[in-house]
Amino acid sequence: MTATAVSTGHQSPWRDELRATLSLAWPLILTNLSMSLIGATDVVMVGWLGPTELAAASLGFNLCMTAAIFCMGLVTATAPMMASERGAKAHSVRDIRRTFRQGLWVAVAIMIPIWLILWQTEAILLTLGQQAELAVKAQSYVRAYMWSILPFLWLIIARNFLSALEQPLWSLIIGILGVFANAAFNYVLIFGKLGVPALGIIGAGIGSILANVFMFLGMVAVITYHPKFRRYHLFGRWWRSDWPRFRALWKLGLPIAVTMGLEGGVFGVAVMLMGLIDTASVAAHAIALQVASVTFMVPMGLAQAATVRVGIGYGRRDLALIRRAGWTSFVMGTGFMAAMAMLIWLSPELLITLFIDRDAAINAEVVQLAISFLAIAALFQIVDGAQVVGAGMLRGLHDTTVPMLFAAFGYWVVGIGVGAWLAFYQGWNGVGIWVGLATGLGIVAVLMLVRWSMRARLGLLPLEA
């Protein structure tokens, strides 16, 4: 055998892993973007009602999303469990079905207390110092919208099933259909079309229920009738209890839920800290964060792919596959974010003009602040991508508790602590908050990467088959 042939043979597994990861990740990335587009559509349509309705719906929506992110983290545990079950037995049906069904149970169990809490939205917002008029309107919106969270969680579980089988394209198709369905439902219900009375922001909440039910039923149809999926009989006798699997999902999923809640919460606190500085800082922060949120969808999709690919290797007890799957997603995620960092660094004004008129005198202060925030956001991009993919890699190894502690320390002790110190004690203002966020994410990224690198010494790997 020639040296070239040997070299090609050694590289082939990595090329195969690159193809497998790309094939799995790109529909997940576009599905994540479609979910973001649904949220953006809601904001635009409610905004047509007026600033009061938009402010009230935004308050209610943020409260609901805080709860939904926590719940989404809990059911995310179905992804590594189903992936490792498939890895352990390529034609596994029973174990995957058990995890899927108990995922539905977990979603119902967590939503009961969440609904009870969200029902008291007006009291919660008044306690947080919000205006009485906004609190009343927000409560009417939330009491409609909150019922959409359960079908959304069931949709996530169905997406995880398709991802574990490395068939995510259907998730993308249904997500795209969901964007159009959500826009249609909202238009009819908010503004009173086709003979339906105009329901205002309550209509937006009902529209979200119908859109999520529509997407979940689409998933049910695909899973039930598609030849590749129907043999799993996922919905047959789904009401039967399976307490060992139910407890296993809580054990693995609760740390993920706390981690995602901590990450979402830290950005909410950052907004409040900006509000203590001035209005221009809040506006500039919103622009910089929106830019970062869009690019974040790519490493988030790669993190989801890493969880599945590493999980399959974990189930097979294939240490080489685990190593290739993890590092492939990590390099792709950080490489993409490095490219985005360069774009942000070189063209901040171009990105800002997507949101406001940079030539208007009234926006001058916001533009200058946004430019300074985006300079830090360029570095923020790389470490944010590294930490989210790192977390996805470790989830594939069913390692969630210690990463939760990393998140608590990095996001809240370092991120908020350093940010508040720089902003209010060192006079850095909004720049200090962004430096704190970037520092916290950097700490989490390093800790995740070190733990991944030490996975064998820490006993995180299965015994080799």
- CB neighbour list of residue 418: distance below 8 Å, 6 or more residues apart: 435, 436, 439, 440
- Residue 357, pLDDT score: 76
Q: What is the mean pLDDT of residues 191-195?
A: 90
Residue 438 reports pLDDT greater than 70:
yes
Q: Give me the residue label for tokens 């940079």.
A: 358
Residues 82-97 pLDDT 10s: 999 999 987 779 999 9
Residues 386-414 pLDDT 10s: 999 999 999 999 999 999 999 999 999 99
| Phi, psi (rounded to 5 degrees) for 276 | -75, -15
Q: Give me the residue label for tokens 């949709």.
A: 155
For residue 434, give the 3-state DSSP assignment: helix
Q: How many other C-beta atoms lie within 10 A of the C-beta of residue 427?
A: 9
CA distance 187 to 21: 38
Q: What is the mean pLDDT of residues 299-326?
A: 96
- Residue 2, pLDDT score: 43
- Residue 6, pLDDT score: 41
Q: Which pair of structure tokens corresponds to residue 37? A: 């587009």
pLDDT-based confidence at residue 290 (cuts at 50, 70, 90): confident
> Does the predicted TM-score (pTM) go above 0.85?
yes
Residue 265 reports pLDDT greater than 90:
no
Q: Give me the residue label for tokens 């790389």.
A: 382
| Residue with more model confidence, 356 or 257 | 257
CA distance 330 to 70: 24
pLDDT-based confidence at residue 11 (cuts at 50, 70, 90): low
- Residue 4, pLDDT score: 41
Residue 313 reports pLDDT greater than 50:
yes
Specify which of 46-50, 134-138, 241-245 reaches the highest per-range mean pLDDT: 241-245
pLDDT-based confidence at residue 46 (cuts at 50, 70, 90): confident
**Helical H runs in 226-347?**
243-275, 279-316, 319-346
Q: What is the mean pLDDT of residues 131-159?
A: 92
- Residue 3, pLDDT score: 43
Residue 8 reports pLDDT greater than 50:
no
Specify which of 141-145, 356-360, 447-451 reaches the highest per-range mean pLDDT: 447-451
Nearest to 200 by CA among 218, 216, 215, 188: 188
Q: What is the mean pLDDT of residues 34-49?
A: 79
Percent of the chain beyond pLDDT 90?
A: 66
Which sequence spans correspond to the domains of the chain?
12-241, 254-465
pLDDT-based confidence at residue 5 (cuts at 50, 70, 90): very low
CA distance 435 to 412: 13
C-beta of residue 287 within 8 angstroms of C-beta of residue 356: yes
CA distance 425 to 438: 18
CA distance 121 to 146: 11
Specify which of 133-142, 217-226, 355-364 reaches the highest per-range mean pLDDT: 217-226
Q: What is the mean pLDDT of residues 158-182?
A: 94
pLDDT-based confidence at residue 63 (cuts at 50, 70, 90): confident
- Residue 448, pLDDT score: 97
- Residue 286, pLDDT score: 79
Q: What is the mean pLDDT of residues 420-444?
A: 95
- Residue 465, pLDDT score: 54
- Residue 457, pLDDT score: 96
CA distance 263 to 347: 27
